[in-house]
Amino acid sequence: MKKKLEDAKGLWPEILPEILWAYRTTPKTSTGETPYFLVYGTDAVIPVEVGEPTLIYSHESRPRNDESRRQELDEVEERIDMAYIRLITHKQQAERYYNKKAKVRPLKVGDYVLKAKTQEGKDPREGKLGTNWDGPYKITATAKKG
């Protein structure tokens, strides 16, 4: 999508609705559902499919269509719950991947540590080349977790 917008240069206002439609109707990896479905509870139909009848639309009768819509509405909550479960699973996988590379080093009494400065703690006169750390500080006692 970003590539298409970059190629359009000055025409991006005309292309933006197409890009947004593509984003809203593409299933996301983390949930397995489209953002459109998660908001409205139904899958989006591409406008071309409405204008040009496909086999799905040509063989549907009104009573059958109403029944299938009722069935979809009954399953909406279940699909949203499953999307939420997939989202949590995706986050846990990302956390495991990150933690696999992180090296845990327990700190002991007597170790020296640096403390990161916050934006408020930085001197504005130093600019971006100022120090990002305070310290070193020596650990004198341990506290309970939390």
The rounded distance, in Å, linking the Cα atoms of 41 and 34 is 10
pTM of the predicted model over 0.85? no
Give the pLDDT band of residue 146 (cuts 50, 70, 90). very low
Give the pLDDT band of residue 61 (cuts 50, 70, 90). low
Strand runs labelled E in the chain: 112-116, 133-138
How distant is the alpha carbon of residue 79 from its chain centre?
18
Residue 84 has pLDDT above 50, yes or no: yes
Ordered DSSP codes for 99-134: HHHPPP----TT-EEEEEPPTTTS-TTTGGGS-SEE
Ordered DSSP codes for 15-26: HHHHHHHHHHTS
